[in-house]
Amino acid sequence: MNTEVDMKDVELNELDPEKQPMTGDGQTAGGEKNGNLKTKGSDEEVAFTGLSKEELMKVAGTPGWVRTRWVLLILFWLGWLGMLAGAIAIIVNAPRCKPIPEMRWWNNGPLYQIGDAEAFADGLAGVEKKLDNINQLKVKGLVLGPFHTVQADQPSTLNLKQIDPTLGSKEDLKAVLEKAHKKGISVVLDLTPNYLGSSPWFGTADLNDVLASVQDAAKHWLDLGVDGIKLSDIGTANSADLTPLLDVLKGNDTEDEAVKKMLMGVAEGFSAAEISQLLNTSGVDLMLSDLLDTNLQGAQRIDAVNTLHMEQRRLGWGLGAARRLQLAKLAVSRALIRLYQLLLFTMPGTPVFNYGDEIGLQMQDEKPPKMIWDLEKDSKADEAAVNATTEADREEYSAVRMWFKSLSDLRGKERSLLHGDYYPLQSSVSTLAFLRLWDQSERFVTAVNWGQVEETLQLKLAPTEEVKLPKSATVKLSTDPAMEVESTVDLDKVTLGPGQGVLLQFPYKG
């Protein structure tokens, strides 16, 4: 028994021959040393010390190495000079970027007019609460009023510094200004004196005194934080001296072009040529006309745009906006509402809308319509309270608002639509088409048909123009069911249904 235990200890203490280290000095299990293979000189340490400094210098000075170094040096500098020359050639031959024109805040997006704060949102306090909703439309300016106190045709009752208490207070206006500015929205105040009466400026005999009151009130409101002043019938005001009022506005300017103060004028009943002259003589920063309201024929409208497109950074376009009427007052169908929204957002100039235009709000009578909110409300929650007609209207209002937002967003992103050059393509009694482009940016073609029958437009540029149209373009936005977005359209034959419009897009090719 003890012998077996001792033998196990011996077996455990012995190393497995396969696990013993294979060293030259070790022994195998049998007590024999591992065989060592010795070669001649294996016990001698071999070390390579390389060339000494003297030897290196001697080799480096040989004619072969000298020529090699010179060749490598010359190749290096030739390569460097070649890359420099190539970079210069690329810069010189690259197409020059056209400098961006001077842009003021009113050139960067649509203006949104709230002529009746009570109908819009129950007064100025309601306007402040609805600014989040307004901001979703990507508007850059809010035009408020008029809401100062005055009795119709009574200049002695005019108080341009007093807000009608039924609409709000100065503190309410301050709240609107503060919140709007945080959202990047500027606020313009309409100071048209006799807005309730028969003539915006009372009588001719009162003009100078009323202008002095406007000048004083403008300083008061600008000091409060208002970003601009709007005046109707600027043609009449221009017959007097507007210089003191302009001095007040410019005196409140800063070095920042984005926050310049604006004088906005409204001109009704003027031709395109007269509007151009009025722009040069009145000194207004933005002129809103009724040219789209009165010139209902395509040829007349294209002539107006041709005359004024060079003034696009000082020109406002609207349908009904000059008279503070909703767009739906003149665009009598839902299809036409979308068509005119497309037209206004893509014309050269600043689009101006009245509240409710973004949903196609219909006017029931001559009074300002009550704004409709809560378009996203789910009628299924209370089907008994909402009849089928009301729900259909709600869905249409929501769809028109989405269309409006997509146009506003696109205009803010695309330089060709924001401040691009304008080229007429085609016009007729009921159609209008034009090209907008800027330098190397995407190009856009707007084509609209406000007639009652289908029209086929053949889009062509004047032979003298250096710009060329491609054979086809891609549909970017469309009101016509026959033209699907992302489909391709031949530009020599664009067919539009009655009351339909399309925005086409094609890339710049150098």
User: DSSP letter at 33?
Assistant: B
Residue 38 has pLDDT above 80, yes or no: no
Q: How confident is the model at residue 168 (pLDDT cuts 50, 70, 90)?
A: very high
Residue 163 has pLDDT above 60, yes or no: yes
Task: Give bridge partners of residue 354 from the DSSP assignment.
Answer: 113
Q: Which amino acid is at 216?
A: D
Can you say how many angstroms the Cα of residue 313 is from the centroid of all Cα atoms in its chain?
15
pLDDT of residue 381: 43
Q: Which two tokens stand for residue 231?
A: 């005046």
236, containing H or E segment: helix 234-238
Higher pLDDT, 179 or 58: 179
Mean pLDDT of the 109-119 span? 96
Residue 295 has pLDDT above 70, yes or no: no
pTM: 0.81
Q: What's the rounded Cα separation, in Å, for the pair 335 and 330?
A: 12
Q: What percent of the chain has pLDDT over 90?
A: 66
Q: Pairing mode, if any, of strands 186-190 and 228-231? A: parallel
**Residue 200: other Cβ atoms inside 10 A:** 19
Higher pLDDT, 293 or 407: 407
Q: Which two tokens stand for residue 96?
A: 């020059």
- 């080229």: which residue's tokens? 423
Mean pLDDT of the 168-179 span? 97
CA distances from 301 to 248, 323, 334, 416, 507 (A): 35, 18, 21, 21, 27
- 């169908």: which residue's tokens? 333
Q: Which two tokens stand for residue 415?
A: 């330089």
Please say whether the beta carbons of 249 and 232 come within 8 A.
no
In this predicted structure, which of 47-56, 128-137, 229-238 has the lowest mean pLDDT? 47-56
Mean pLDDT of the 26-51 span? 51
Condensed to tens digits (0 to 9), the pLDDT of residues 415-462 reads 999 999 999 998 888 999 999 999 999 999 999 999 999 999 999 998
Burial state string for 393-430 with b = 16 or more CB within 10 A and e = fewer than 16: bbeebeebbebbeebbebbeebbbbbbbbbbbbbbeeb
Which CATH superfamily hosts domain 423-506?
A: Golgi alpha-mannosidase II (2.60.40.1180)
List Cβ neighbours of 235 (8 Å cut-off, separation of 6 or more): 267, 270, 278
Residue 28 has pLDDT above 70, yes or no: no
User: In the chain, helix, strand, coil percent, each to 5?
Assistant: 40, 20, 40
* Domain-wise residue ranges, the chain: 105-413, 423-506
What is the SS3 assignment for 435-492? Answer: EEECCCCCEEEEEEECCCCCEEECCCCCCCCCCCCCCEEEEEEECCCCCCCCCEEECC
Count CA within 13 A, CB hemisphere, residue 310. Answer: 10
Q: 116, 97, 106: which is closest to 141 by C-alpha? A: 106
pLDDT of residue 48: 60
Q: What's the rounded Cα separation, in Å, for the pair 275 and 289?
A: 8
Q: 335, 304, 323: which is closest to 448 by C-alpha? A: 335
Q: What's the rounded Cα separation, in Å, for the pair 294 and 287?
A: 16
pLDDT of residue 148: 97
pLDDT of residue 269: 92
Condensed to tens digits (0 to 9), the pLDDT of residues 320-371 reads 999 999 999 889 888 999 999 999 999 999 999 999 999 999 877 778 899 9
- Residue 316 backbone class (left: φ over 0; alpha: ψ -120 to 50; beta: rest): beta
Condensed to tens digits (0 to 9), the pLDDT of residues 40-69 reads 444 555 566 676 777 777 777 788 888 888
Average pLDDT along the chain: 86
pLDDT of residue 175: 97
Q: How confident is the model at residue 379 (pLDDT cuts 50, 70, 90)?
A: very low
- Residue 349 backbone class (left: φ over 0; alpha: ψ -120 to 50; beta: rest): left
Q: 197, 193, 190: which is closest to 211 by C-alpha? A: 193
Q: What's the rounded Cα separation, in Å, for the pair 165 and 227?
A: 22
Quick one: CATH architecture of 105-413? Alpha-Beta Barrel (3.20)
**Residue 15: other Cβ atoms inside 10 A:** 10
Q: What's the rounded Cα separation, in Å, for the pair 25 and 450?
A: 106
Q: What percent of the chain has pLDDT over 70?
A: 85
Please say whether the beta carbons of 477 and 406 come within 8 A.
yes
Can you say how many angstroms the Cα of residue 107 is from the centroid of all Cα atoms in its chain?
10
- 């011996």: which residue's tokens? 10
Q: What's the rounded Cα separation, in Å, for the pair 159 and 145?
A: 14
Q: What's the rounded Cα separation, in Å, for the pair 361 and 279?
A: 32
pLDDT of residue 27: 46
Q: Pairing mode, if any, of strands 455-457 and 494-496? A: antiparallel
Q: Which two tokens stand for residue 495?
A: 């067919």
pLDDT of residue 89: 85
User: Angle, nearest 10°, between helix axes 243-251 and 207-224?
Assistant: 0
Phi and psi, residue 157, nearest 5° = -95, 0
Mean pLDDT of the 307-329 span? 93
Mean pLDDT of the 233-253 span? 90
Higher pLDDT, 255 or 357: 357
Q: How confident is the model at residue 93 (pLDDT cuts 50, 70, 90)?
A: confident
pLDDT of residue 498: 94
Q: 337, 336, 352, 240: which is closest to 291 by C-alpha? A: 352
Strands (E), 236-384: 262-267, 286-289, 315-317, 350-354
Condensed to tens digits (0 to 9), the pLDDT of residues 204-222 reads 899 999 999 999 999 999 9
